[in-house]
């Protein structure tokens, strides 16, 4: 839902998303629906509270991505990402206290390995890269990472866990990738037009 929320935020702020971007967002939703339904997910066995939390999370993540270029932040992207990660860690600690979670220390080596992987690659590497992209790449293009993630998850499941890849999964993955191509094309066309305009202006100046 992240690309959808970002389109809504942009529209509410007076920035009209391009038709090709909207087409890419819609096609991506269709592809994700194919992936979920082909994996056997139905509304009858999904917890409503958990789904609500995920929707709220995507809503707030989208808002943070949209508002970041519009608020004063440290010039260094890595410093900004560090502040955000520290704030998230403190919020999670407070949430664990409120919900009564306790850490007994009885955790196996595999769990510690998973935790280390999430800290290094999920937070330090992944989130920092995302914060850098928000500064150096168009927001609609950055938002498409949420469409690509399920495709990567399916591929890793097939390679690492030998999970079956059905024709429906392949179709859903292709549709998702098509949506990303549409969004990329929508972002590339204006840059090409601006370059052509600048070239035309330069030619006119030379003739004059």
Can you read off the two tokens belonging to residue 144?
Answer: 């498409």
The total number of structural domains in the chain stands at 1
pLDDT band at 205 (very low <50, low <70, confident <90, very high): very low
Measured CA to CA, the distance from residue 192 to residue 196 in angstroms comes to 6
Measured CA to CA, the distance from residue 61 to residue 40 in angstroms comes to 27
Domain containing 183: what range?
2-207
Alpha carbon of residue 2 to chain centroid: 6
Residues in Cβ contact with 66 at an 8 Å cutoff, skipping those fewer than 6 apart: 6, 9, 10, 13, 139
Name the strand (E) or helix (H) holding 117. helix 109-117
Q: What is the pLDDT of residues 142-169, one digit of tens each?
A: 888 787 888 888 888 889 888 888 888 8
Q: Are 137 and 6 in contact (CB under 8 A)?
A: no
Say what the pTM is.
Answer: 0.68
Q: What is the pLDDT of residues 116-137, one digit of tens each?
A: 999 998 888 888 888 888 888 8
Given a cut of 50, whether residue 196 has pLDDT beyond it is: no
- The rounded percent of the chain whose pLDDT value lies above 90 is 8
């Amino acid at each position: 839902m992240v690309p959808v929320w970002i389109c809504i935020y942009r529209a509410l702020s007076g920035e009209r998303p391009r038709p090709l971007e909207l087409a890419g967002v819609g096609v991506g939703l269709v592809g994700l629906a194919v992936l979920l339904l082909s994996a056997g997910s139905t509304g009858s066995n999904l917890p409503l509270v958990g789904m609500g939390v995920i929707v709220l999370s995507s809503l707030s993540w989208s808002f943070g991505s949209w508002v970041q270029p519009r608020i004063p932040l440290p010039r260094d992207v890595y410093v900004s990402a560090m502040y955000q990660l520290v704030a998230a860690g403190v919020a999670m600690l407070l949430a664990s206290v409120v919900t009564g979670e306790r850490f007994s220390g009885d955790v196996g080596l595999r769990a510690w390995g998973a935790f280390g992987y999430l800290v290094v690659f999920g937070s330090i590497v992944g989130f920092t890269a995302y914060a850098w992209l928000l500064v150096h790449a168009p927001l609609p293009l950055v938002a498409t990472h949420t469409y690509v993630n399920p495709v990567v998850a399916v591929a890793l499941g097939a390679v690492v866990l030998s999970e079956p890849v059905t024709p429906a999964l392949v179709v859903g993955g292709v549709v998702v990738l098509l949506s990303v191509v549409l969004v990329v094309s929508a972002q590339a066309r204006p840059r090409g037009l601006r370059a052509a305009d600048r070239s035309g202006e330069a030619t006119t100046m030379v003739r004059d």
